[in-house]
Structure 1
Amino acid sequence: MTEQAPETTKKTNIIVMMVDDLGYSDLGCYGGEINTPNIDALGYDGLRFTQMYNGARCCPSRAALLTGLHPHQAGIGQLSADLGVRSYQGYLREDCVTIAEVMKTAGYRTGISGKWHVSGSWDNRNRDSWVIGDKKHPMPKQRGFDRSFSLLNAADSFWNPKSLILEDVLIDVESGDFHMTDAIGDHAVNQIEESVEMNMPFFQYVAFNAPHWPLHAWEDDIAKYEGKYMAGYDAIRTSRHEQQKGLGVVDDKWDISPRDTDAPDWDDVQNKEYEDIRMATYCAMIEQVDRTVGRIVDSLKKAGEFDNTVIMFLSDNGGCAELFQEDSDWPDPSMWETHPTLDGEKIRTGNIPELRPGPDTTFQSVELPWANVSDAPFRLFKRWIHEGGISTPFIVHWPDGIENKSDILNNPMHIIDIAATCYEIAGAQYPKEHHDTEIQPLEGESFLPALKGKELKRETPITIEHEGNRGIRIGDWKLVAEWDKPWEMYNISDDRTEQNDLIDGEKDRAKSFEKQYYEWAERAEVLPWPVDPNVIAKRLTGDHAHITQHRAPLSGVMK
């Protein structure tokens, strides 16, 4: 028998907040030193989950969150480019439904403010020829959202984004005071207030694109952190790990993973001031998100809706290790250099030490060593299925509904479970058909019992694949591999930082897990990586072509 949401005179409102490229240790309530009082307050007065897994990359996680299906089943098994098969078409499939489409059937008003990124590829160099809202580029209002303020692209300028839509119409920024994080807050608050005025329960999706690159933040915020990271990578990682153990969000018996092999010793870093200012800008972006969360909370309190609103907060993947090539001789101008600033100034793309990050004339990233800090105490980053790539802080706050507030729960869960939980809270029925199309069965499992203080044990394995990186978690055990390397096996209860590979002594268990993984992969329409070398080579001339991954090139096959 499923757990039912409490009976109230009005249905429970639901807000899902997702941030972009935030690591497991970045928030204060998960061990970080960044100033996040508003998010921390939700965590300390709600529930903090320590073993929520995302989809390892931006748009696969978004597709999984929005549909309750695995990314491939939703059409986005890799990124937003169309690789010629439906599980890798780069936009939402017609045989899935979004949370917004289902929640509307239960009487909810639906709104999105923030990053969409589930509607194909958008190259700013070709902006004049974009087709908004056709079959391969579905917009939020076509997929169930009543109100829409969204960013189409994987990444864009925070000061002057060129892939911005309002009510599914492409718009331009006209004010020098614009910043995307602030604008996301403005529109989220407006959408919530409209729902309250209409006396309708609401589902609100707040999809921050921060702290994803580019490093764009207000100078006053950057200045708060400048100089605080001169202690270096290892010192900050160690400090966070100690704080995490004290908070109880990691187990004392888990040793911190060694500094990543691609991260230099701090003593060998030539330009420490540049490393410091990059991390300071990243922190400033997170603090700005926190302020925006505070504004949304204040609007709920003012409307008297705070206690009757479920707020969920998570990240789409682990910290981002991507590096911008500096002043490279690309055959085409960068998609982010094509359009100048509002003042007509040229934008320089690249991690160029003589350029201070933050303003609209720059386009930089935080890079691998600091991503290794963000993901402490775990291994690897965004794109990988090791814990650093898929572990997210996950906070649920619901004064009227959570039984044991201020608790830390260690239940293994997956991002696809969020949709199922929303439906159970709202009393919404997941359909078998939508718009005369047969819909795939829901993959996620509701974690509402955990919110009500009941025992929660996921019935099916947690299985994740991205670009050949792959893993399956069953109980305390995890089988995982990088795309071009053999399987590894870890007991997560004893060794969540994945330091002691037990596969040689667990051959039978590993064989059983591998069999279940491939059965899932076939059912979820996962294909060997790369899907098609010719298509992948074509993709590399466009979206993200100029970003260097520190490890696996886009070649090889899934072992």
Structure 2
Amino acid sequence: MNLTMPVTLRTVKAWTLLLLFLLVFSSARSSRADDRPNFLVIIADDMGYSDAGCYGGEILTPNLDQLAKGGLRFTHFYNTARCWPTRSALLTGYYPQQIRRDGMPGAPGNFGGRGKRPEWAKTVADYLKAEGYRTYHSGKWHVDGEPTKNGFDRSDPTTRGPGFFETTKKKTRDPKYYETIDTADFAIACLKEHASKFAERPFFEYVAFRAPHFPLHALPEDIERYRGRYTQGWDVLRKERHERQQGLGIDVAELSALEPEVGPPYAFPEHIKLLGTGEINRPLPWEELTEEQKQFQATKMAIHAAMIDRMDREIGRILEQLRSMDVMENTFICFLSDNGASAEIMVRGDGHDTTADMGSAETYLCLGPGFSSAANTPFRRHKTWVHEGGISTPFIVHWPSGIKAKNELRSSMAHVIDIAPTILDLAGVRVEGGQGPPMAGVSLKPGLLKDEVVLHDELWFYHNQNRAYRQGNWKIVYAADSEDGPRTKSDGSKRKEDLSVNWHLYNLSADRAEQHDLADKEPERLKAMASRWEELRSQFLSEATQQ
């Protein structure tokens, strides 16, 4: 049988049309790839709402301030109150309880910091890599699995040990090494490689600084910039920051009262003894402190400030690398903190040497509830609590080619679960429905274009038995610590509870600092909101147990 066919004019025309179609299609795909934005997500650890200059702080953060000046600052943006749940939510678009990455009432033992995500809970890097993006991670990980097995082409978890001066997992110390600089170094190295080998492709870079998380370790020259700055104490600092926030137009009408009865979330009395007589575990009025305590606390705050100052400098180096690659205009940059500033006080790692210089490798210091209250100005409470001080984060967005607005505020209620869906939306990546539920987060794109856009009708919170639920401007919150105790009526008698927990109710449109409990005045609203919190808890538990 003769398998050859005569080549006719019609055949030639058909092949020619097919080749032209393929060329046009290939060109369109290439153009799409060239036009897609790059992404740089930067996250700090234990940084307070008011620490950055553009959120009212006195700490020098010129690079963050410039990003804010050229873009947007969100004033009602939330995290999950703790490091590992926030990071899982950021990378997946789900509440951490939906993907077993934090506990909740009724959850089995495979939930929490050691929980493993279901197969369907992919990271944003997984999705982007499949669509041709190069993906890079530098810094803290604290998510289940390994970065390079969860969508990242390159990764260096630069956390080497309990402190910031360890260069290896064997805790070798080099006086010239500092973790925050190393985190930026690797991020820059990835960008340089990208420019030389993959310039035709867009990138996603996730930079997770550990600063200013404890232990308070900073370079001596950085500490010197702030030495003596905080000797007036946290009472004065809170008022100064609050006044600057009002001048910046940030919608915080009232400064929360200091809460001397609220100390660290975990009691380590023996650890506090190791730290010496300068340490205290309550935010007492500054004038009640001894001179030794004042000096000790002020120096700790100076180190905290130095750590943030250094982080900002390293962010500046990363931004300069973007400029040298001529990609700054089309790189979507966002910055946030994983939780509020920390009231924790403990000694880990190699212990604390009281004779060593504060902030050096031989010391182990934590900020504590006094200056943590100032870092979270104007809000109540700290990391691990779900009052506004624990879950409110600065959120800066900068994307010159995609956002026309400059130096504007956004008051829309948003959450860390929104970062992944926003990135996927802007990259043109469609997430097909799989075994799991739809992402809880939504794209922030409408809120990037104008203010007062409703992105969420409700947000749900839980961590370490602390509970909260926000519905519009109304919020209910419950603190599990004993100091908060059961709520009582104004006459001192116990209120009869319809539910098993003691909720407080606030109208955040007038009381963002959570100072005026309206539970007695709005009992039906409180009951309905508490029931909705429980309904969502049940839903998340059901979703998380899907395989």
Counterpart check, 1:96 vs 2:121? yes
| Cα distance in 2 for residues equivalent to 1:58 and 1:255 | 26
| Cα distance in 1 for residues equivalent to 2:117 and 2:327 | 32
Distance 1:162 1:94, change over 3 A: farther
Q: Decide whether the 8 Å contact of 1:431 with 1:439 is kept in 2.
A: no
SS across alignment from 1:60: helix
SS across alignment from 2:303: helix
Q: Decide whether the 8 Å contact of 1:181 with 1:210 is kept in 2.
A: yes
| Cα distance in 2 for residues equivalent to 1:440 and 1:276 | 48
Q: Gaps (5+ residues) in structure 2?
A: 1-30, 262-281, 486-501
Q: Compare CA radii of gyration and give the structure with the larger one.
A: 2
Q: Decide whether the 8 Å contact of 1:72 with 1:526 is kept in 2.
A: no
Alignment of 1:461-476 (within 5 A): 461-476=458-473
SS across alignment from 2:246: helix
Counterpart check, 1:264 vs 2:284? yes
Deviation track 1:6-35 (CA, whole Å, cap 9, x = no partner) reads 988421001110000000110000000001
Q: Decide whether the 8 Å contact of 2:165 with 2:173 is kept in 1.
A: no
Cα deviation, residue 403, structure 1? 2.4
Counterpart check, 1:491 vs 2:516? no
Cα deviation, residue 324, structure 1? 1.8
Aligned to 1:214: 215
Aligned to 1:179: 178
Cα deviation, residue 428, structure 1? 1.1
| Cα distance in 1 for residues equivalent to 2:443 and 2:134 | 21
Deviation track 1:460-516 (CA, whole Å, cap 9, x = no partner) reads 411110011011111110011112551001000100000000011111111111111
Counterpart check, 1:481 vs 2:478? yes
Cα deviation, residue 105, structure 1? 2.0
Normalising by structure 2, report the TM-score.
0.81
Distance 1:201 1:74, change over 3 A: same
Aligned to 1:450: 447
| Cα distance in 2 for residues equivalent to 1:183 and 1:441 | 37
Alignment of 1:285-300 (within 5 A): 285-300=307-322
SS across alignment from 1:504: coil
Aligned to 1:135: none
Q: Gaps (5+ residues) in structure 1?
A: 1-5, 120-137, 164-170, 326-333, 338-347, 528-559
Alignment of 1:365-404 (within 5 A): 365-404=366-405
| Cα distance in 2 for residues equivalent to 1:379 and 1:161 | 37
Cα deviation, residue 66, structure 1? 1.0
Q: Decide whether the 8 Å contact of 2:141 with 2:147 is kept in 1.
A: yes
Distance 1:366 1:84, change over 3 A: same
Q: Residue type of the partner of 1:470?
A: R
Aligned to 1:229: 230
Aligned to 2:85: 60
Q: Residue type of the partner of 1:185?
A: A
Aligned to 1:147: 154
Q: Decide whether the 8 Å contact of 2:45 with 2:209 is kept in 1.
A: yes
Q: Residue type of the partner of 1:149?
A: D
Query: What is the number of equivalent residue pairs in this alignment?
Result: 468
Q: Residue type of the partner of 1:447?
A: L
SS across alignment from 1:323: coil
Q: Residue type of the partner of 1:425?
A: L
Cα deviation, residue 193, structure 1? 2.2
| Cα distance in 2 for residues equivalent to 1:78 and 1:181 | 30
Deviation track 1:329-359 (CA, whole Å, cap 9, x = no partner) reads xxxxx5x12xxxxxxxxxx338x5x543221
Normalising by structure 1, report the TM-score.
0.80
- Decide which moves more: 91-100 or 45-54: 91-100
Q: Residue type of the partner of 1:269?
A: L
Aligned to 1:84: 109
Deviation track 1:34-61 (CA, whole Å, cap 9, x = no partner) reads 0110111101111000000001001011
SS across alignment from 2:36: coil
Alignment of 1:416-427 (within 5 A): 416-427=417-428
Return the match for 2:328 from 306, 324, 334: 306
Deviation track 1:221-268 (CA, whole Å, cap 9, x = no partner) reads 1011011111011001100000010011233x3244335433112122
Deviation track 1:245-299 (CA, whole Å, cap 9, x = no partner) reads 0011233x32443354331121221222111111111110000000011001100
Distance 1:103 1:177, change over 3 A: same
Q: Decide whether the 8 Å contact of 2:335 with 2:395 is kept in 1.
A: yes
| Cα distance in 1 for residues equivalent to 2:167 and 2:259 | 35
Return the match for 2:140 from 115, 123, 144: 115
| Cα distance in 1 for residues equivalent to 2:507 and 2:178 | 44
SS across alignment from 1:160: coil
Distance 1:239 1:455, change over 3 A: closer
| Cα distance in 1 for residues equivalent to 2:172 and 2:202 | 31
| Cα distance in 2 for residues equivalent to 1:519 and 1:215 | 41
Q: Decide whether the 8 Å contact of 2:90 with 2:416 is kept in 1.
A: yes
Q: Residue type of the partner of 1:493?
A: S
SS across alignment from 2:541: coil
| Cα distance in 1 for residues equivalent to 2:155 and 2:209 | 14
Counterpart check, 1:516 vs 2:532? yes
Return the match for 2:68 from 43, 59, 68: 43
Q: Residue type of the partner of 2:99?
A: A
Cα deviation, residue 405, structure 1? 1.4
Aligned to 2:17: none
Q: Decide whether the 8 Å contact of 2:337 with 2:393 is kept in 1.
A: yes
Q: Decide whether the 8 Å contact of 1:112 with 1:145 is kept in 2.
A: yes
Q: Residue type of the partner of 1:145?
A: F
Aligned to 1:190: 189
Q: Residue type of the partner of 2:149?
A: Q
Q: Decide whether the 8 Å contact of 1:100 with 1:110 is kept in 2.
A: yes
Deviation track 1:192-216 (CA, whole Å, cap 9, x = no partner) reads 2222331210111000000000111
Q: Residue type of the partner of 1:193?
A: K
| Cα distance in 1 for residues equivalent to 2:426 and 2:59 | 32
Q: Decide whether the 8 Å contact of 1:92 with 1:118 is kept in 2.
A: no
Q: Decide whether the 8 Å contact of 1:76 with 1:92 is kept in 2.
A: yes
Q: Decide whether the 8 Å contact of 1:402 with 1:453 is kept in 2.
A: no
Q: Decide whether the 8 Å contact of 1:215 with 1:278 is kept in 2.
A: yes
Cα deviation, residue 525, structure 1? 2.0
| Cα distance in 2 for residues equivalent to 1:269 and 1:234 | 12
| Cα distance in 2 for residues equivalent to 1:349 and 1:90 | 31
Identity %: 39
Aligned to 2:276: none
**Structure in which a larger fraction of residues adopt strand:** 1
| Cα distance in 1 for residues equivalent to 2:456 and 2:374 | 33
| Cα distance in 1 for residues equivalent to 2:182 and 2:521 | 53
| Cα distance in 2 for residues equivalent to 1:83 and 1:357 | 42
Deviation track 1:80-123 (CA, whole Å, cap 9, x = no partner) reads xx97224664344433111110111221110000100113xxxx
Q: Decide whether the 8 Å contact of 1:18 with 1:208 is kept in 2.
A: yes
Q: Decide whether the 8 Å contact of 1:158 with 1:216 is kept in 2.
A: yes
Q: CA RMSD in A?
A: 2.3
| Cα distance in 2 for residues equivalent to 1:416 and 1:139 | 21
Q: Decide whether the 8 Å contact of 1:20 with 1:316 is kept in 2.
A: yes
Aligned to 1:133: none
Q: Decide whether the 8 Å contact of 2:158 with 2:179 is kept in 1.
A: no
Q: Decide whether the 8 Å contact of 1:449 with 1:455 is kept in 2.
A: no
Q: Decide whether the 8 Å contact of 1:117 with 1:152 is kept in 2.
A: no
Q: Residue type of the partner of 1:47?
A: L
Q: Residue type of the partner of 2:287?
A: D
